[in-house]
Chains A and B, each alone.
Chain A
Amino acid sequence: MNSMPWHKQAAALWKKDIRAEMRTRVATGSMGVFALSALLLIALSMLSVKGVEYRDALGRLKPAWDDAGKMALLWTLLCFAAFTGLAHPFVHEEESGTSLALRLYMSAEAVYAGKLLFNLTTLAAMMLVITPAYMLLTGMNTGRLILFFPIMIGGCFGLGSVATVVAALAAKAKSSGALFGAIGLPILVVFLILLMQAAHLCYAGNATPISIVKDVGGLVSFGVMIVALSAMLFHFIWDD
C-alpha cells in the first residue's frame, strides 16, 4: 500500500482521471451530447406553453411555465445527463482491469474521495455550460442570486455524491449500465423533491429566514449524509 496520506492519493487519482478523460472524453462527451439534445427537446416541446397564463384556484393569473417549473425541468435534465456519464470512472476501471492496481496502491477512502472529486468536477463543468444555455433558450431567471448559487452548488454536490456511490455499486454487477440508472434514480427522486422545495425560495417573495435554513439545509444535509455513509461503507464495495 502507498505510504502517501489519503488526500494526496485522492488528488493523484483525480489528476489521473482528469488526464484519462481529456484523452478519451467519454464521460463529458456523452453527458454533453445528452444534455444538449435534451435541452433542445425541452425548449421545442415547451414552445406551446411559453407566455401562456392560467388562473389558479384563487383567480390569480399565473404563467403556465413559471421559473420554479423551469428550474425543476433543468434539474431533471441535469440528473439524467449525469446518469449517462458518471458511471464511467468506475466502469472503466473494472473493464480495463486497472481496479486491481488501484486496490493494491490506494486505500478505499482515497479511491472514493478521488472518484467523488472527479465526478463533482465533471458535473460542475457540465452545469457551467448547460445552465446558461438553458436560461437563454427558456428565459429562466435566476431569482434571488444569494439563494440561486447555494442551491446550484448544493444540488451539484448531492447529485455527484449519489452518482458516485451508485456507480461504484453498479460497476460490480452484471449489466452495470442498465442498473446504474435503475438503482440511482429512485434515490435521486427524493433529492429532487428537496431541491424543488429549495428552488421555490429563489422566486418566492415571502421566503422567511427559517424556511430558507430549513429547505436549503435539507438539501445540503442530504448530500452530506450520502457522502458520510458512502465514505464509511466504500471499503465494503471496493475490497473484493
Chain B
Amino acid sequence: MPAQTKSAAKLQGAWWKYTAGLLMAYVIYGAFAIAHGAIGFAEKGVAARVIFFHVPCAVLSSVAYFAGMCYAVRYLYSSHRKSLKDDWYSAAAMELGFLFCILCTLTGSIFAGIQWGSFWNWDPRETSIVIMLLLYASYLLLRTGLSRSPEKKARLSAVYTIVALVPAQFLIWVVPRILATMHPTTTLTDPRMTSITYKMVLYPSFAAFTLLFIWLMQLRVRSLRILALRKERALRRISEKY
C-alpha cells in the first residue's frame, strides 16, 4: 500500500463504523434524555441542546480545513512521484468541511432564532463561519474551472488551499478574539461551564462526529478514485478507437 494512504487507512474493518453508529445514536438519545435543560437559555433550557450538534460541526469545519491543507502540502512537497491520492484526500476533506460549515451555520441560526430572537445577528463567529463557507465554495469552484488536467487541478487547488490558510487562520483564531462576540468562549476549555450530564453527551458527540467525518472522507476518496478510473478508461477507449 502506498505510504500516503496508510494514515487514512489505519481505521480498517467495520468495528469503528459500528462504534460511530452507536455513538451517534447515543448522542441523539442523550441530547434529549440525559442532558437537562440549561440555566439561562430559552425554552426552559431546551435551546442549549443544540450544543451537541453545533459545536462538533463547528470544530470539524476547521479541522477539515487543516486536514485538506496537510494533504495539499503533502501533494506539493512529496519528494517522490506526486500521487493524486493526496489530492483526493485534500479535496474530500475540503468538501466535507463545506458540508460541516453548512450544518454549523444552520444549527447556529436555529439556536440564534430561539435564543436571541433573530436568526442572524452579525456576531463575529456567525460572520466567520459564513466566510469560511465562502472559502470552501471558492475552492470547489476553482476545481471546477480546472477540470482539464488532473495534475494541474491538483497542483493549483493545493496552492489555493495553502494561500487561503491565511484568511482561514484569521477567521478561526483572530477575528473572534478581536471583536466582541455573543458566543461563550470557554465552553470547552473551562470544565465549570458545563454540567456532568452535558459532558456525558458532549464528549461522545465529538468522537461520533469525528468518526463520521473519517467514514465520509473514506467514501468520498473511494468515489473520486472510481471517477478517475472511469475517466482514464474512457480516454483509453477513445485513443484505441482512433
- Measuring CB to CB, which residues of chain A are less than 8 angstroms from any residue of chain B? 165, 169-170, 172-176, 179, 182-183, 185-187, 189-191, 193-194, 197, 214-215, 218, 222, 225-226, 229-230, 233, 236-237, 240
CB neighbours of B165 from chain A (8 A): 229
Digitize B144-166: 1 where CB-to-A-CB distance is under 8 Å, 0 elsewhere.
01111000100110111011111
Among A218, A233, A240, contact of B163 (Cβ-Cβ < 8 Å)? A233
Q: How many A-B residue pairs have CB under 8 A?
A: 90
20 examples of A-B residue contacts, CB within 8 angstroms: A169-B156, A169-B160, A173-B142, A173-B145, A173-B156, A174-B147, A179-B142, A186-B138, A187-B138, A187-B164, A193-B175, A194-B170, A194-B174, A197-B179, A218-B178, A222-B166, A233-B163, A236-B155, A237-B156, A237-B159
CB neighbours of B163 from chain A (8 A): 165, 187, 226, 229-230, 233
A212 to chain B, nearest CB (A): 13
Among A189, A191, A218, A237, contact of B134 (Cβ-Cβ < 8 Å)? A189
B152 to chain A, nearest CB (A): 7
> Are A190 and B175 in contact, CB atoms less than 8 angstroms apart?
yes
CB neighbours of B175 from chain A (8 A): 190, 193
> Are B166 and A225 in contact, CB atoms less than 8 angstroms apart?
yes
> Are B146 and A172 in contact, CB atoms less than 8 angstroms apart?
yes
CB neighbours of A230 from chain B (8 A): 163
A181's closest neighbor in chain B, by CB?
Answer: B138
A183 to chain B, nearest CB (A): 4
> Are B142 and A218 in contact, CB atoms less than 8 angstroms apart?
no
> Are B159 and A236 in contact, CB atoms less than 8 angstroms apart?
yes
Alpha-carbon distance A233/B76, docked complex (angstroms): 9
